[in-house]
Amino acid sequence: MDEPLTEQAPLTILIADDSDTDRLILGKLISRQGHQVVGAVDGQDAIEKFEQHQPHMVLLDVMMPRLDGMAAAREIKRLAGERLVPIIFLTSISDAKTLASCLESGGDDFMSKPYNRVILEAKVKAFNRMRLMHRTLSEQRDLISERNRQLLSEQQVAKRVFDNVAHSGCLDSPNLRYHASPLSLFNGDVLFACPRPAGGMHILIGDFTGHGLPAAIGAMPVAEIFYGMTSKGFGCGDVLREINQKLKRILPTGMFCCAVFIQADFHLNQLRVWNGGLPDAYLQRHSGERLVLPSSHLPLGVLSTERFAADVDVIRTEPGDALFVATDGLIEAEAPNGQMFGEERLVTALDDHRGSEAIFQSVLNAARVFAGDRELQDDFTVFCLEMVDEEALDQLPDRLLPSALTGPSDWQCDYELNDTTLGKFNPLPLLLHICMEVPGLRRRAGEVYTLLSELYTNGLEHGILKLPSAWKNSPEGFGQYYAERERRMAAIEGHHLRFSLSHRPSADGGCLTIRCRDSGEGFDYQHLMAKRPDDHQYAGRGIMLLRQLSTSLRFLGKGNEVEVVYDWQYG
Amino acid sequence: MVDKPHLDEEALAELRDVMEDEFDVLIETYLSDSADRINTLHRALVAEDNEMFTKSIHSFKGSSINIGAPLLGELCLRAECAGRNGHLDEAGQVLDRIESEFRTVSDLFQRLLNA
């Protein structure tokens, strides 16, 4: 049956009355208003005619043989289902109780005899308006629920695409714990972890402004940049700057990403933490001491590249120290009485717990207990990282795809950095990239990166900046070392650092030779080389590592040039 | 109650206006239906079927009011009340008056139709 779309369109109206006279009069009144009339002689007949003609409105006599009006009304309402089919009772009864039970049985109104045509016409019009409004509402409700279903299924698809770009990286490392809701992406939360080529990892916990698709869409480029640059050996500062620049360019004003960026170095046992707009992060040391790492930057995507600062807190750690980060959804989690979880409860939950597992469980339990009967709103991300001995993490997933076996294998190049560039530019990703062009060498990216970065650090920090490595032996000196490094970096003058790389193929691999010469004064390397390899003073570890990885390690000239030879086989 | 007229002229004028050329059919339908109803009412009284009596008189009342026969409607209401209260004797007495009023109304309608 076609539904009349406007108030003016003719309706089909069922009139059930056992009195032929009444039916005649009413039928005439209705048809004179331009509607189609279907007549029924009793309640049972009314139900049958209703099913047959699907009328828009029903006028029902109360007392009828076979089935009375009230029973017919109940059945008609049932048959109409979600459709609103107004039922008007025709009655000469005036006692309140009977009239009330007419309405209870599903009637919408009464008409009393004798019929007044003006009132009848007004009622039919009024109920038709109500009927149309009801239908519009139902349609809109169905539309909304269909849209919502569509949105959810689109989100699932988007999530799958996103997961391909922003795979979980190394989030399943044994020293990481995290909680993120299944569709956290659409809360604007992101959590990435990626191993660095030379060991250690980068972690990004982000919280985009807003919800839904707009919040999720910014996550894609962030993931691309984060995984791409980290795998290529870029440090946290470079990755942060790149992400910030990208978000600044693509996000509309007022949209940004609060984030904590962590560069964990298990070999040096240190953390670099950048907090831009997320709640305080906490380093819970295994000694029980707690270091608060508050936000000291604006979120990503706010400042232009020139004004963006990627400086980080460098923190010396020990195995067992745990870093805890959560997005603001945790602190804002509500109890049944509307109270928020808050920082105080979070800090209490951190107290007296050591290690990422214990801390993580303690915080989540506290939040769940706090939320009580009220289901914990799952719109936050909680992350905990534990510092461990490097050896414990040997099994970090290797995400690098094997490269095709074509490319340069017999070559040599020189690369020299001077003065201000030395202070500003990290050449390691570029150098690593050159080496990775060698067919098959990509599988050894970690080792090659370590060689490059140790030589670079040695040449820059000790050779040129003349920072005494002994400083790093005490916690106070550690801080002093990095403060001084930054100061001296800014004032480099008349210096250069020269890398000479060469590669020769061999039957089952190749031989990479890296020389790094700095413009510094050199040092007494005879003394250092005499040290036993197991002498594990902190600053000696760089040399130890170079020795372990390479076939040979030589200091040349006055100690300002180091050469390592790295023989490798296809593995 | 006796002050109610046999026919409500104003209501009839309106009905005639509404029904147009079906006015005659309406009146004839009413008259034949009502004759049937009176027979039914008698049968109900004989059978002492209170429910049948009440339902039937209720319908009769409704159509009489609608057709513009207020006095007949009023008498039907009285009979319906008596029937509802179980006073079939009283209802029977009222039914006699209903029959006589119906004859009057029938005559008036016939005259109206022949006019």
CATH number at residue A260: 3.60.40.10
Mutate to test the interface with A, among B30, B63, B84 (most CBs of A within 10 A): B63
DSSP secondary structure letter of residue A461? I
Can you give the pLDDT at residue A42? 92
Considering the domain architecture, whether residues A306 and A388 belong to the same structural domain is answered as yes
Provide the mean pLDDT of chain B: 90
* CA–CA gap between residue A269 and residue A319 (Å, rounded): 7
Residue A393: pLDDT over 70:
no
Can you give the pLDDT at residue A245? 94
Can you give the pLDDT at residue A399? 46
Query: A32 to chain B: which residues are within 8 Å by CB?
Result: 18
Q: Which residues contact A11 (CB under 8 A, 6 or more apart)?
A: A4, A35, A36, A55, A56, A57, A124, A128
Smallest CA–CA separation between A373 and chain B, in Å? 58
User: Which of A335, A365, A393 marks a domain boundary?
Assistant: A393
Can you give the pLDDT at residue A368? 86
CATH of the domain at A76: 3.40.50.2300
A81 close contact with B: CB closer than 8 A: no
Into how many domains does chain A fold? 3
Smallest CA–CA separation between B27 and chain A, in Å? 8
User: Which of A94, A121, A138 marks a domain boundary?
Assistant: A138
Considering the domain architecture, whether residues A366 and A454 belong to the same structural domain is answered as no
Q: Which residues contact A211 (CB under 8 A, 6 or more apart)?
A: A186, A187, A188
Q: Mapping DSSP to helix (H, G, I), strand (E, B) and coil, where does residue A198 land? A: coil
Rounded average pLDDT over A304-308: 92
Query: Cβ B62–A65 below 8 Å, yes or no?
Result: no
- The CA-based angle A433-A438-A439, given to 5 degrees, is 125
Alpha carbon A455 to chain centroid, angstroms: 37
Smallest CA–CA separation between B78 and chain A, in Å? 13
Domains of chain B: 9-114 (1.20.120.160)
Can you give the pLDDT at residue A538? 45
Smallest CA–CA separation between B59 and chain A, in Å? 7
| A423-475 pLDDT per residue, tens | 888 899 899 888 988 888 877 888 898 899 889 988 999 889 988 878 877 77
Structural domain contains residue A217: yes
Reading the block at residue A153, the tokens are: 């299924």
Rounded average pLDDT over A37-45: 94
Per the omega criterion (within 30 degrees of 0), is the bond before A10 cis? no
Q: Which residues contact A253 (CB under 8 A, 6 or more apart)?
A: none
A66 close contact with B: CB closer than 8 A: no
Taking CA–CA distances from B51, the nearest residue in chain A reads A65
Query: B20 to chain A: which residues are within 8 Å by CB?
Result: 28
Going by pLDDT thresholds of 50, 70 and 90, the confidence category of residue A92 is: confident
- Block residue for tokens 């179980």: B86
Domain holding A542, by residue range, is: 411-569
pTM for the full predicted model: 0.60
Asked if A13 contacts A57 with a C-beta cutoff of 8 angstroms, the reply is yes
Asked if A252 contacts A296 with a C-beta cutoff of 8 angstroms, the reply is no
Query: B33 to chain A: which residues are within 8 Å by CB?
Result: 19-21
* CA–CA gap between residue A215 and residue A207 (Å, rounded): 9
Q: What is the CA radius of gyration of chain A?
A: 38
Can you give the pLDDT at residue A263? 95
Residue A143: pLDDT over 60:
yes
Structural domain contains residue A147: no
Query: Cβ A113–B65 below 8 Å, yes or no?
Result: yes
CATH of the domain at A516: 3.30.565.10
Going by pLDDT thresholds of 50, 70 and 90, the confidence category of residue A1 is: very low
Specify which residues A518 forms β-bridges with: A497
* CA–CA gap between residue A471 and residue B29 (Å, rounded): 117
Considering the domain architecture, whether residues A445 and A303 belong to the same structural domain is answered as no
Going by pLDDT thresholds of 50, 70 and 90, the confidence category of residue A402 is: very low
Reading the block at residue A404, the tokens are: 């095709």
Can you give the pLDDT at residue A544? 80
Structural domain contains residue A565: yes
Provide the mean pLDDT of chain A: 86
Reading the block at residue A292, the tokens are: 């608060």
Q: Is A97 exposed, middle or buried (0-12, 13-18, 19+ CB in 10 A)?
A: exposed
A523 close contact with B: CB closer than 8 A: no
Residue B43: pLDDT over 50:
yes
* CA–CA gap between residue A499 and residue A514 (Å, rounded): 7
CA distances from residue A7 to A4, A34, A122, A137, A296 in whole angstroms, order as listed: 8, 12, 12, 16, 63
* CA–CA gap between residue A32 and residue A36 (Å, rounded): 9
Alpha carbon A38 to chain centroid, angstroms: 61
* CA–CA gap between residue A466 and residue A153 (Å, rounded): 59
Can you give the pLDDT at residue B74? 92
Residue B17: pLDDT over 80:
yes
| B60-107 pLDDT per residue, tens | 998 998 899 999 999 999 999 999 888 888 989 999 999 999 999 999
- The CA-based angle B12-B14-B20, given to 5 degrees, is 95
Rounded average pLDDT over A399-409: 59
